[in-house]
Structure 1
Amino acid sequence: MKAKAAKQTSVDWAQEARVPPHDVPVEQALLACCILEGGQETVPMCIQARVKPESFYLPAHQTIYQLIFDLYEKGTPCDEVILIERLQSRKQLDAIGGVGAVHEIINRIDTPAHLPHYIKRVRDLELMRRVIRASMASIESAYERQEDVDQFLENVEKDIFAVSEDRLTDDAKPVSISVDKALQLTQFMVENKGELTGISCGFIDLDRMTTGLHADEMIVVAARPSMGKTSLALNFVEAAILPKKGKPVPTLMFSLEMGADQLAMRLLCSRAYVNMQKLKDGFMSKEVASDLKNAAQEIKKSPFWIDESVNITILEMRAKARRLAMKNKLGLIVIDYLQLISGTDNRVQREQQISEISRGVKAMAKELHVPVVVLSQLNRDSERERRQPRLSDLRESGAIEQDADLVLLLAKKREQEEEDDSDPNVLRDLIIAKQRNGPVGTIPLVFKRNLTRFESFSSQQDL
């Protein structure tokens, strides 16, 4: 009990000794802008910047802003007379300091011309106070007995990340900017017939239909187990970090199922066209050794990072990707696979967790301005009904289908009932089931199982 009291006294002393950051004159100036202008233009600017009553430090200012906001919602202009009258009717005038306090606010400025500055200042200080509160709460929790330290750290990061997420949103852009960019893109297409506008997938037919993997997009690669999802993802990675032409694309891969060493071995053998099984059995000629060495040198020089963390949440992924992007300009993110990402709240149903994760993946693509390829499981319906998979087979959530810009379903050939396990080369259908900005269709691929890589069917003359 004494230890607890001492701890409480220490925290109370720290809170009393240091006043949270705030700026009363700036808060008054922001309120004065809304009152002098009437709120019809100033309040929408505040709403866009996410200014809320709690954005103000003084309770009196919170009360006044709430009233201004209520008047705006009802379509009633705000001025000094109306404000005082409504405060009186709500019996709040004395609580905010009386008529004199209202006059002091209005006399703070002559013109609302500097409203953007006041908004930014009020919001910045609010966010700093929220960081302080979150940090103090974390300190309090840290003093208490924590059964699950990993969960505690995750909650701390989640609280801080929530503050970061509440920063100013981007302003609406005039259509002229987007039209100019679209015009530049069409000009590029005309002048560079056949050139990709995104990152190459490594397969001619797929690139032709998608024009590559594009920034801001969420690309889902879904299949039943043992279809080769990870191998296909590594093909995408190889095409990005070791392109046939152009500069390498810095790539981050979150591997929740396979360790980094195991993943590197797969990529190495795939790049060198070496039979992994023979290698495991101890068979390696001088030629194979040379091929592996050359491939290793190529991969080691490439801009590729593997994160093998387990029990990771989408919030942690976004934080890690953001940190890496600050040091190295990321161009592609790959996640293997979605259903292994931990939810941030274990109390909600898994379907809701998957929906939250899916939204987080899409948000990461837009925030970092990169394509995010995420692998996903399909349910058993297609196998049970002996048919090709479709969008509705995406496991656990329809949100994945809604959030994705491109959905690729990997499956056995339609005509193929059973596969010969001894056959090193098997046919796969890569079904473009959804594409926001392009056609859908099916692309045949050859899965070279011994090499753990895919090849375009059109380039395989022996099959």
Structure 2
Amino acid sequence: MVQETSSNSPRSFSGNSAGGAAGRMLPHSLEAEEYLLSCCLLDGKDVLSRCLEARIRAESFYDPKHGLIYERLLDLYNRQEPIDISVVAEELKTARQLDQIGGYAFLAQVSSRIPTTAQAGYFIEKVREQALLREIIRSATGAVEECYGFTGGIDEFVDQIEAKIFSVTQNRVSESAKQMREPTRDAMSVINKMMMKKGELTGVSSGFKDLDAFMWGFQKQEMIVLAARPSMGKTSLALNFAEAAALPKKGPPAAVLIFSLEMGAAQLALRMLCSRARVNMKLLRDGLLSKNGDEQNRLVEAADQFSKAPIFIDDSSAISIMQLRAKARRIHSRTPLGFIMVDYLQLLSPTDPKVPREQQVAEASRGLKAIAKELDVPVLVLSQLNRSSEKDNRTPKLSDLRESGSIEQDADVVLMLARPRDADEKFQVAADSAELIVAKQRNGPVGELKLTFLRDITRFENFHQ
């Protein structure tokens, strides 16, 4: 039976009363550590490779003596030297560490702890588990101490604390820097998929065939900016994207998280319901729809579909980029997300209201790009355009992005929604058709395409005459 704690352990935790852990032993299992080292001495090549995959380091061992032995084992493994008790003893002796671990007798005791490596996987997991618990305790205790020393800037402070706690659990999975072999393998997998399936989407479908032909879907880790002047229908188009992701015509659904800083969740749900059910919202509000008619049946059916769809809506009206990132992390840890939508960028609250507006927007833009990379999902960000294109009566361009050039820099894709040049300019509202301009795309072509806009149900569709 594995012993979880030991009274003669070389380490203990002396926390203050705030931590509630004064004099407690840190989690550990000395026997599991010895069993694991015994497995390494029995079959070093296999067991040590599994240890490395599980991110077991010398620091993962509670007993410093065990850490020293493991360090020598790793050194031999990396040099492709034979792993044997006599070789390990000689290495420790050369490094003047043999006496530190208790001499050859202790090494012999460890090597004879277990006769087979059959349970190596269990002991790897046990050592990793106990080491992770100790890391969490140290991070959490450090957070408590930092709280007592807090001097101001609560949002930034909380984000830093949360990042430290998350780093314990998130960073244990993989290193941030990857050898070229792994990314090359991933790229070849995408290439093979494209060749075998003849242009099939490699990302989340937008729901529009012409746009998917440009982008092959919304790709993971990409920040996609959808920009337009007010009342051009950008929220409607973004909701159509979200609907296509969560309720695709084919393929598995993607969990969608919508941050709506402008509209309430109920108002957003109403728009999505009417759009999918193809019901005129004005007639619904005026009470001109029959109670048991076809429209109600379609609404009930759409409501049933949405209630089962993996869609999350956060309608917090005043939220900073750090708060947004924290919320996204928490939801992603419970339900892995496939698509995030933010409506819209300029409404995010600044971390520091004193800095110039351009810097505030730049911070939000960089933060959203960081979320896309951290959570490995496409992030769709709505943004405003300035008035220049209207004044000059021309097609919008990248320089028209409002308040910050960093949006253009951070975005992987920039989409711009504009009225057709021949549309009636009497009112600044969405026309029956719209031009969607792919103004920037890091990994694909740019160009223009047309969409049909059904104003009565606030829905965009593939263009048709």
TM-score interval (norm. to shorter):
0.5 to 0.7
Mapped to 2, the partners of 1:443 and 1:44 lie a distance apart of 52
Unaligned runs of 5+ in 1: 1-6, 367-371
Deviations along 1:268-305, one digit per CA (max 9) or x if unpaired, are 454466776x679x855447997875564344321243
One-letter identity of the residue aligned with 1:105: V
Paired position in structure 1 for 2:34:
28
Q: Retained in 2: the 8 A contact 1:314–1:361? A: no
* Equivalent of residue 104 in structure 1, options 104, 109, 116: 109
* Equivalent of residue 128 in structure 1, options 125, 133, 156: 133
Cα 1:15–1:69 shift into 2, 3 Å:
farther
TM-score normalised to structure 1 length = 0.67
One-letter identity of the residue aligned with 1:267: M
Q: Retained in 1: the 8 A contact 2:72–2:92? A: no
Cα drift, residue 353 of structure 1: 6.8
* Equivalent of residue 406 in structure 2, options 396, 401, 405: 396
Q: Retained in 1: the 8 A contact 2:274–2:299? A: no
Q: Are 2:331 and 1:320 equivalent residues in the alignment?
A: yes
Q: Are 2:415 and 1:409 equivalent residues in the alignment?
A: yes
Cα 1:161–1:9 shift into 2, 3 Å:
closer
Cα 1:343–1:63 shift into 2, 3 Å:
farther
Cα drift, residue 129 of structure 1: 1.7
Q: Retained in 1: the 8 A contact 2:385–2:400? A: no
Cα 1:144–1:262 shift into 2, 3 Å:
farther
* Equivalent of residue 206 in structure 2, options 201, 204, 227: 201
TM-score normalised to structure 2 length = 0.67
* Equivalent of residue 335 in structure 1, options 342, 356, 362: 342
Paired position in structure 2 for 1:4:
none
Deviations along 1:194-215, one digit per CA (max 9) or x if unpaired, are 997876533342345556557x
Paired position in structure 1 for 2:315:
308
User: What pairs up with 1:156-235 in 2 under 5 angstroms?
Assistant: 157-169=162-174, 189=197, 200-210=205-215, 212=217, 216=220, 218=222, 220-226=224-230, 227-235=232-240
Cα drift, residue 425 of structure 1: 0.9
Paired position in structure 1 for 2:67:
62
Unaligned runs of 5+ in 2: 1-13
Q: Retained in 1: the 8 A contact 2:224–2:379? A: yes
Q: Retained in 2: the 8 A contact 1:27–1:118? A: yes
Paired position in structure 2 for 1:3:
none
Paired position in structure 2 for 1:253:
258
Cα 1:178–1:118 shift into 2, 3 Å:
farther
Paired position in structure 1 for 2:300:
297
One-letter identity of the residue aligned with 1:396: S
* Equivalent of residue 21 in structure 2, options 11, 14, 19: 14
One-letter identity of the residue aligned with 1:314: R
SS in 2 for 1:19: coil
Q: Retained in 2: the 8 A contact 1:379–1:395? A: no
Cα 1:252–1:417 shift into 2, 3 Å:
same
- Across the aligned residues of Structure 1 and Structure 2, the Cα RMSD in angstroms comes to 5.4
Cα drift, residue 132 of structure 1: 2.8
* Equivalent of residue 375 in structure 2, options 356, 364, 387: 364
Deviations along 1:118-160, one digit per CA (max 9) or x if unpaired, are 3322211111222233344455667788978777765664444
Mapped to 1, the partners of 2:349 and 2:35 lie a distance apart of 45
Mapped to 2, the partners of 1:286 and 1:114 lie a distance apart of 68
Mapped to 2, the partners of 1:180 and 1:418 lie a distance apart of 48
Cα drift, residue 264 of structure 1: 2.7
Q: Retained in 1: the 8 A contact 2:39–2:117? A: yes
Cα drift, residue 233 of structure 1: 0.8
Q: Retained in 2: the 8 A contact 1:355–1:399? A: no
Cα drift, residue 433 of structure 1: 5.4
Mapped to 1, the partners of 2:15 and 2:189 lie a distance apart of 60
Mapped to 2, the partners of 1:84 and 1:198 lie a distance apart of 52
Cα 1:268–1:127 shift into 2, 3 Å:
same
Q: Retained in 1: the 8 A contact 2:432–2:453? A: yes
Percent identity of the aligned residues? 36
Q: Retained in 1: the 8 A contact 2:89–2:104? A: no
Mapped to 1, the partners of 2:270 and 2:352 lie a distance apart of 35
SS in 1 for 2:25: coil
